[in-house]
Amino acid sequence: MHTPILVPSLLAGDHANLAASASKVEQLGLKWLHLDIMDGHFVPNFTFGPEVLAALRRAGSTLYFDTHLMLDEPERYIEAFAKAGASNISIHIEPDYDHAAALSRIRDVRCQCGIVINPGTPARAIEHLLPLVDLVLVMTVQPGFGGQSFRRDMLPKLTQLSTWRKARGLNFRLEVDGGIDPVTAAECRAAGTDTFVAGTSFFKAPDQAAFAAAFAKL
């Protein structure tokens, strides 16, 4: 079992000063930063591209860049995000492309790889890919926007995935994303989750150190 980690999502940071938002995360002693990449097609919104990752690296960030690609054709952008400084690249199962080949390309460019499933997609859709990934990201909201409510009906999916992980001797991190705060994180933790993305709840927390400490105790 992996130790639980809090992964702040930069989507809820200050887009006029993303380096300051990232360094706040680093100053708290956290190790991972979640980066949401949206293309206006797979999801109805835009965020930022590889240039922003590269700029954060130039500004000195040594955080583990957990890169969540919400793109119709993620396989076209693997090299660009790896070159820009991604540590992990996670790709969705829903668009039609060769998922296994894309995961292998992510490894070829020396990044860790993850597979992501939307709320409407059952766990069995990614079952065949589980031995190939470092991380499975279960969306606990419909992707595209921060600040939505946690979907409690995703808990059985988390239980299913953590049961398969144990039964098959696999070692992927199980990550949740969307509507996560200390209360919903505890529910996900009970279902086997170890990696907790938090955007709004982290950046709006009046005391971010106390907020991070709550996750360390999960």
Which residues contact ligand DX5 by CB under 6 A?
A: 9, 11-12, 34, 36, 68, 141, 143-148, 177-180, 197-201
Nearest residue (CB) to ligand DX5, 73 versus 170? 73
Three-state SS for 173? strand
Backbone angles phi, psi at 49, to 5 degrees: -120, -165
Nearest residue (CB) to ligand DX5, 84 versus 138? 138
Minimum CB distance to ligand DX5, residue 108 (Å): 25
Q: Which residue of 66, 75, 175, 177 would you call a contact of Zn ion, by CB under 5 A?
A: 177
Q: Report the distance separating Cα 5 and Cα 10, nearest Å.
A: 16
**Which residues, in sequence order, are CB contacts of 202 under 8 Å at separation 6+?**
6, 8, 9, 12, 208, 211, 212
Sign for the CA dihedral angle at 135, 138, 142, 148 comes to negative
Stretch that binds Zn ion, among 96-104, 106-114, 120-128, 169-177 (CB under 5 A): 169-177
Tokens of 61: 């960030």
Q: Is 177 a catalytic residue?
A: yes
Q: Is 36 a catalytic residue?
A: yes
Query: Out of Zn ion, ligand DX5, none, which partner does residue 47 contact, by CB within 5 to 8 A per kind?
Result: none
Q: Does 194 engage in binding with Zn ion (CB under 5 A)?
A: no
Q: Report the distance separating Cα 81 and Cα 216, nearest Å.
A: 29
Minimum CB distance to ligand DX5, residue 168 (Å): 27
Tokens of 181: 């705060």
Using CB under 5 A, list all residues that contact Zn ion.
36, 68, 177
